[in-house]
Structure 1
Amino acid sequence: MTSEAPRHPLPPFTKDTAIEKVRLAEDGWNGRNPAKVALAYTPDSKWRNRAEFPEGRAQIEEFLTRKWAKELGYRLIKELWAYGGNRIAVRYAYEYHDDSGNWFRAYGNENWEFDGNGFMAHRFASINEHPIQEADRKFHWPLGRRPNGHPSLSDLGL
Structure 2
Amino acid sequence: MSISIQTQDFNLADEVAALEQDNAADGAVVTFTGRVRNQNLGLEVSGLYLEHYPGMTEKSLEKILETARGRWDIGRVRVIHRIGQLDLGEQIVFVGVTSKHRRDAFAAAEFIMDYLKIQAPFWKKELTEQGEKWLDARQSDTAKAQQWDR
Same fold (TM over 0.5): no
Normalised by the length of structure 1, the TM-score is: 0.29
Normalised by the length of structure 2, the TM-score is: 0.30
